[in-house]
Amino acid sequence: MTTVYGLKNCDTCRKALKSLGDVTFVDVRADGVPVETLKLAFDRFEDAIINKRSTTWRNLTAEEQGNAPISLLLAHPTLMKRPLIEHNGVYYLGWNKDTQEAVL
C-alpha cells in the first residue's frame, strides 16, 4: 500500500503519481495530514520536512517560523516538502532518484 501526500497542482507530485500508478493520494491543502503521520515523518526527516523556500514560509512572521514544525504543518499544510510518500510503512520525502528506486 502506497500513500502520497501532496498538492494536486504540484508538478513534482503529479510526476510521482504518474510513475506510481495505483496509489492513495491525499491533498494536504484540502484534507490535511494526520497528526500521527506528521510525527512519524518528522521523526525520520526532522526539519527537512519544512519547505523553507515556499511562499508560505516567506509570508510567516519570524515568531511563527519559530513554532514547532508539527504545529506549523498542522496550521499550514502547504509548508510540507512534497511529496511525502508512505510505502510499506516507510516514509520518503521528495521525488528523487533514491525515492524512485525504493518505491518503484
10 part of the active site: yes
* Amino acid in position 79: L
- In a 3-state reduction of DSSP, which class is residue 3? strand
Q: What single string gives the DSSP state of each residue in 20-77? A: H-S-EEEEHHHH---HHHHHHHHHHHGGGGB-TTSHHHHTS-HHHHTS-HHHHHHH-G
* Amino acid in position 18: K
Per-residue pLDDT 10s for the chain (104 aa) are 899 999 999 999 999 999 999 999 999 999 999 999 999 999 999 999 999 999 999 999 999 999 999 999 999 999 999 999 999 999 999 999 999 999 99
Catalytic hit among 4, 10, 41, 72: 10
Q: Which residues contact 56 (CB under 8 A, 6 or more apart)?
A: 76, 78, 79
